[in-house]
């Protein structure tokens, strides 16, 4: 029996394949740290929710007719006969947690961020996986369009910190559920005469979720829908003003954007602002991230009237973009500073080596020794393979005198030092 990872999942490794640098754990950690740091600057605090939730939380909030709920969820019945679902996205779980833990009552303006895994049964391809990680934020408690601008600026700041420069910000307003009813009708009236010419997907969406007709990559559908009615022309006055103000804030912050009339997003919970950050190095899966406002979602989930806005950025797509742009991240050095090599009488030298290793590590020095071979050549090769900066060579004679040979692996210089002083000597190099 040969085991493989489930379809369209991947392993993130300390030693990634040469052509897939994005699968390097060190790069993941670096990007996550940049995100945490940007969130700290903007005053967001971290929330962690379970990896699974009651299925109904998602069916109700995301919407029965969406692709995610209708065909992509990993749903199962647990041994207690409950229907549970691996989370396909991060917003609904955060809303559930805030209601359950009564955070809205104590924090009239609540700014949260998360880094989490999501699961969608999708047809995989580069940039689209069945398990993916999102870097997300959610803010609750205000409808001020300056807050929409802040959330967008945070996302843009994150990419700027990483040196990603080939992205475009697309924005739109999806109005209120009421204004959408009129718009959906207008859209259907427009498409009805050429319904038979639309792709199967387009025809399905015409019936199930007409707004999503606009979100197509099919060339023919795009041509047929080129002059379709636009959401902005159907907005209620409040949403229209909100959208105007958001644009003026983005302009005054110096962030270029494109008003994208076909941007509708794949969830039912959005109201007013919807946005996406589109990368140019990604091929067809080009949404680096997306989000929007959801002023009715908390109410829908039983938490009263609390407006919200947030986004999710795709970790894999971010890392793939960094690779494509040739951005070399300054990842932490994972090589050991010192590597202990022992020679001679094992009963004498090995206990001293183990004690020294413990002492060095306690002093914060990354160090190692060989557990597979006692031959000098093999131990030295292991030190080289790991990229150790120094080796510490301990033989019978050194052990008896309480000293050790400290060898600089690049200059090959070697000198004798007292074992008791090894930690003090090496600690000087450990942060440089």
Q: Name the site residues for ligand HAM (rule: CB under 6 A).
A: 89-91, 120, 122, 127-129, 132, 134, 136, 138, 266, 287-292, 310-312, 314, 316-317
Helices (H), 363-410: 376-386, 396-401
Non-local (6+) Cβ contacts of 391 within 8 A are 338, 339, 340, 341, 380, 383, 406, 407, 409
Closest contact distance (angstroms) between CB of 360 and ligand HAM is 42
| Residue of 95, 88, 147 lying closest to 267 (CA atoms) | 88
Contact 298, 104 (CB under 8 A): yes
Euclidean distance between CA atoms 331 and 329, whole angstroms? 6
Euclidean distance between CA atoms 214 and 170, whole angstroms? 14
Euclidean distance between CA atoms 139 and 228, whole angstroms? 33
H or E segment at 134? strand 131-140
Closest contact distance (angstroms) between CB of 18 and ligand HAM is 23
CB atoms within 10 A of CB 195: 13
- What does the CA dihedral 417, 422, 424, 430 come to, rounded to 10 degrees? 120
Instruction: Specify the residue, 122 or 161, whose C-beta has the smaller distance to ligand HAM.
Output: 122
Non-local (6+) Cβ contacts of 212 within 8 A are 66, 67, 205, 264, 266
Instruction: Specify the residue, 122 or 157, whose C-beta has the smaller distance to ligand HAM.
Output: 122
Half-sphere exposure of 35 (CA within 13 A, CB side): 26
Closest contact distance (angstroms) between CB of 175 and ligand HAM is 16
Closest contact distance (angstroms) between CB of 219 and ligand HAM is 22
Instruction: Specify the residue, 21 or 343, whose C-beta has the smaller distance to ligand HAM.
Output: 21
Please state whether 318 falls in left (phi above 0), alpha (psi between -120 and 50) or beta.
alpha
Instruction: Specify the residue, 148 or 316, whose C-beta has the smaller distance to ligand HAM.
Output: 316
Closest contact distance (angstroms) between CB of 101 and ligand HAM is 18
Instruction: Specify the residue, 175 or 312, whose C-beta has the smaller distance to ligand HAM.
Output: 312
Closest contact distance (angstroms) between CB of 129 and ligand HAM is 4
Closest contact distance (angstroms) between CB of 304 and ligand HAM is 19
Closest contact distance (angstroms) between CB of 164 and ligand HAM is 13
Instruction: Specify the residue, 104 or 311, whose C-beta has the smaller distance to ligand HAM.
Output: 311
Nearest residue to ligand HAM by CB is 314
Euclidean distance between CA atoms 28 and 12, whole angstroms? 8
Closest contact distance (angstroms) between CB of 92 and ligand HAM is 8
- What does the CA dihedral 354, 25, 139, 268 come to, rounded to 10 degrees? -140
Non-local (6+) Cβ contacts of 43 within 8 A are 111
Angle between helices 200-208 and 177-191 (to 10 degrees): 140
| Residue of 380, 369, 281, 296 lying closest to 327 (CA atoms) | 281
CB atoms within 10 A of CB 290: 21
H or E segment at 332? none
Closest contact distance (angstroms) between CB of 106 and ligand HAM is 21
Half-sphere exposure of 210 (CA within 13 A, CB side): 21
Instruction: Specify the residue, 96 or 132, whose C-beta has the smaller distance to ligand HAM.
Output: 132
Instruction: Specify the residue, 140 or 339, whose C-beta has the smaller distance to ligand HAM.
Output: 140
Closest contact distance (angstroms) between CB of 316 and ligand HAM is 5
Closest contact distance (angstroms) between CB of 134 and ligand HAM is 5
Euclidean distance between CA atoms 109 and 309, whole angstroms? 11
Residue 187 in tokens: 């859209």
């Amino acid at each position: 029996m040969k085991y493989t990872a489930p379809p369209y999942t991947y392993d993130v490794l300390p030693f990634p394949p040469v052509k897939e640098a994005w699968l390097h754990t060190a790069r993941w950690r670096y990007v996550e740290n940049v995100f945490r740091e940007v969130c700290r600057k903007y005053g967001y605090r971290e929330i962690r929710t379970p990896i699974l939730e009651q299925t109904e939380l998602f069916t109700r909030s995301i919407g029965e007719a969406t692709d995610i709920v209708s065909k992509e969820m990993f749903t199962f019945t647990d041994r207690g006969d409950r229907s549970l679902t691996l989370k396909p996205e991060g917003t609904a779980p955060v809303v559930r947690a805030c209601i359950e833990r009564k955070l809205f009552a104590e924090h009239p303006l609540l700014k949260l961020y998360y880094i989490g895994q999501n699961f969608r049964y999708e047809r995989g391809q580069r940039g689209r996986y069945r398990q993916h990680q999102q870097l997300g934020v959610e803010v609750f408690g205000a409808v001020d369009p300056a807050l929409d601008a802040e959330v967008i600026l945070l996302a843009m700041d994150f990419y700027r910190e990483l040196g990603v420069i080939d992205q475009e910000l697309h924005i739109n307003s999806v109005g209120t559920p009421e204004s959408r009813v009129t718009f959906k009708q207008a859209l259907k009236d427009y498409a009805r005469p050429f319904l038979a010419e639309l792709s199967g997907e387009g025809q399905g969406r015409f019936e199930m979720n007409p707004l999503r007709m606009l979100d197509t990559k099919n060339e023919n559908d795009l041509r047929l829908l080129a002059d379709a009615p636009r959401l902005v022309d159907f907005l209620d006055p409040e949403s229209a003003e909100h959208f105007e103000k958001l644009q003026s804030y983005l302009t005054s912050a110096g962030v270029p954007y494109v008003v994208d009339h076909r941007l509708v997003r794949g969830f039912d919970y959005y109201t007013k602002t919807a946005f996406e950050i589109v990368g140019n190095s990604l091929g067809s899966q080009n949404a680096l991230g997306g989000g929007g406002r959801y002023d009715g979602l908390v109410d829908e989930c039983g938490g009263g009237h609390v407006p919200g806005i947030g986004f999710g950025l795709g970790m894999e797509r971010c890392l793939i973009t960094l690779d494509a742009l040739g951005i070399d991240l300054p990842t932490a050095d994972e090589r050991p500073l010192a590597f202990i090599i022992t020679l001679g009488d094992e009963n004498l030298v090995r206990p001293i080596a183990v004690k020294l290793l413990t002492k060095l590590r306690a002093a914060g020095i990354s160090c190692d020794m060989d557990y597979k071979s006692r031959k000098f050549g093999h131990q030295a090769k292991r030190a080289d393979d790991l990229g150790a900066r120094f080796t510490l060579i301990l033989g019978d004679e050194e052990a008896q005198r309480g000293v050790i040979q400290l060898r600089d692996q690049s200059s090959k210089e070697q000198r004798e030092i007292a074992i008791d002083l090894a930690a003090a000597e090496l600690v000087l190099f450990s942060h440089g």
